[in-house]
Structure 1
Amino acid sequence: MNTSYLITSQLDPRHAVIDEICAAGEPWVKLVKQGQIFRIVDLEGNQAVDTLFFNANNAVERYSATDTIRAQNKLYLTTDSKLYSNLGNVMLTIVADTCGRHDTLGGACAAESNTVRYALEKFPMHSCRDNFLHALAHDPLCQQLGMNKRDLPSNINFFMNVPVTEAGGLDFVDGISASGKYVEMQAEMDVLVLISNCPQLNNPCNAYNPTPIQLLIWDPQ
């Protein structure tokens, strides 16, 4: 990891217009307006934060892992990375990062993937896909945009470490995050943020213990 991308923020949490805790295993939805700064804090370390971004005025435009990777020729996100939409527009720019590596490929846990990766009896366990579907069906901001399960693209996994093997496979390994690490983004358009604070209980990467995260938003300075 190139430590030159480890950039701390000068923003004071006391001046944030939004300062909320998302409990372990829960969804979180919020509007981040163009120019605002959005921070995700890994409060206890190695918690995967599955995140989606949508154009808050037209949900047909949403974060695209493919466009983000292709435009920058990089698999992992950190300071100065731009998050591109499926229409080729920049949605957010990472302006500070004390972790240094965030996954674009691992996707969200689901009932189906839990059975494939772990065991058939894991099928009923709560998953990130469950969180996303619940928010799309019940959150007022998602409902205003007429969103449903067809609006789920591939997500970012903030703080998650998923190396790509020489054979092209994915390894889910111990994270490089720690208590208090954060990533901070500036919104380049009005974006709807949809988070699943991962409820995964089967993966040793989080010591089988999902933990809460902190979400902060600042108005432009």
Structure 2
Amino acid sequence: MPAATATTAGAREHARAQEGTVVYAAPTVPASSQTDVPDGVAPEDVVWSDRLPGGGYAHRVLAPGMRVRLTDVTGDACAQVVLYHADMPWERLNIADTAKIQWQVYPRAGYLLLSDQARVLATIVEDTSGHHDTIYGASTKARNERRYGDGSVHGPSPAGRELLVNGALKNGLERRDVPPAISFFQGVRIDDGRPVWQGSAGAGAQVTLRTELPVVVLVANAAHPLDPRERYTCGALEVLAWRDRVTTPEDPEWTATPEGRRAFENTADHRAGRSTR
């Protein structure tokens, strides 16, 4: 142990001296101090500002009516996202129902992220990427070990599922509670029953979600399991969330499809029953 940190007092001084230096990626705290915000958004309405390196993860509890913007900084990010009802975490993102109920496996603006209770956890309100995946989920430790030699959380090629499990544990959940994720920014299309890798739409692509219920958001930024590149490749991902509002019957997403309308009605009815007003 270095002499400067051989004592408790020395270790404390060394740790405090790191404040303000870039040692590892960390969220902006308070989030309201973030100055790079969308036009029309007041800094005091920003509730989450984070930058995840490749192989990083984040988690946050958000109220209904928050916008969450994900940005692929370099063109190599892969945001693997899982959502839970924050008040009832046994209700969670169900990718199979999300695709089946909407008759669509390719996410885009207006796409609903549905729970297994036929409620809308979040709505995709903006999308400049179009390169996403609802089929193959997050990479696993075993797969990464076969491809890259390591898949552990703190290794050089962390698996997306291991990162999501870490986020789940920090919210009182367990490994068994982590369902298949939706992946943003690295696309897969199905052609004649076979997956076709699309890769990224390029640096700066963004996806914005609007939360419709109180949610726990887990985000892993890890190489997609079908990424054909020989080396583990994953670039930085920016996350920014701010106060907005939930979807209402006046919004086009509410009435875009009969299936979506019923899901929004289920969601609004659920919120009303839990309100004290």
Q: What TM bracket, shorter-length normalisation?
A: 0.7 to 0.9
- 1:206 to partner: Cα distance: 9.9
Q: Tell me, yes or no, if the aligned pair for 1:110 and 1:127 is still in contact at 8 Å.
A: yes
The one of 39, 59, 65 aligned to 1:29: 59
State the distance in 2 between where 1:10 and 1:164 align.
Answer: 37
- 1:12 to partner: Cα distance: 4.5
- 1:174 to partner: Cα distance: 3.9
Partner of 1:3: none
State the distance in 2 between where 1:200 and 1:81 align.
Answer: 21
- Three-state SS of the structure 2 residue aligned to 1:44 is coil
Classify 1:10/1:78 alpha carbon distance in 2 versus 1 (closer, same or farther; 3 Å): farther
- Three-state SS of the structure 2 residue aligned to 1:163 is strand
Classify 1:71/1:206 alpha carbon distance in 2 versus 1 (closer, same or farther; 3 Å): farther
Unpaired segments of 5 or more residues in structure 1? 1-8
State the distance in 1 between where 2:201 and 2:42 align.
Answer: 20
Classify 1:87/1:193 alpha carbon distance in 2 versus 1 (closer, same or farther; 3 Å): same
1:128 aligns with 2:160: yes
Partner of 2:194: 169
The one of 40, 58, 66 aligned to 2:96: 66
Q: Deviations over 1:149-188 (max 9, x none)?
A: 110111000112111131x2323x2424211111001111
Higher radius of gyration, 1 or 2: 2
State the distance in 2 between where 1:206 and 1:185 align.
Answer: 32
1:10-159 matched pairs, under 5 angstroms = 12=41, 14=43, 16-114=46-144, 118=147, 121-122=149-150, 125-137=157-169, 139=170, 142-143=171-172, 147-159=173-185
Classify 1:47/1:37 alpha carbon distance in 2 versus 1 (closer, same or farther; 3 Å): same
C-alpha RMSD of matched pairs (Å)? 2.6
Classify 1:86/1:95 alpha carbon distance in 2 versus 1 (closer, same or farther; 3 Å): same
State the distance in 1 between where 2:100 and 2:79 align.
Answer: 23
User: Identity percentage over the alignment?
Assistant: 24
State the distance in 2 between where 1:200 and 1:123 align.
Answer: 13
**How does the TM-score come out when normalised to structure 2?**
0.66
Unpaired segments of 5 or more residues in structure 2? 1-37, 246-277
- 1:132 to partner: Cα distance: 1.6
State the distance in 1 between where 2:46 and 2:216 align.
Answer: 18
- 1:205 to partner: Cα distance: 5.5
State the distance in 1 between where 2:220 and 2:66 align.
Answer: 21
What is the aligned residue count? 203
Q: Tell me, yes or no, if the aligned pair for 2:81 and 2:183 is still in contact at 8 Å.
A: yes
Specify the code of the residue in structure 1 equivalent to 2:191. Answer: T
Q: Tell me, yes or no, if the aligned pair for 2:199 and 2:227 is still in contact at 8 Å.
A: no
Specify the code of the residue in structure 1 equivalent to 2:89. Answer: A
Q: Deviations over 1:162-221 (max 9, x none)?
A: 11131x2323x2424211111001111011100111056994469743211111111126
State the distance in 2 between where 1:181 and 1:45 align.
Answer: 7
- 1:112 to partner: Cα distance: 2.0
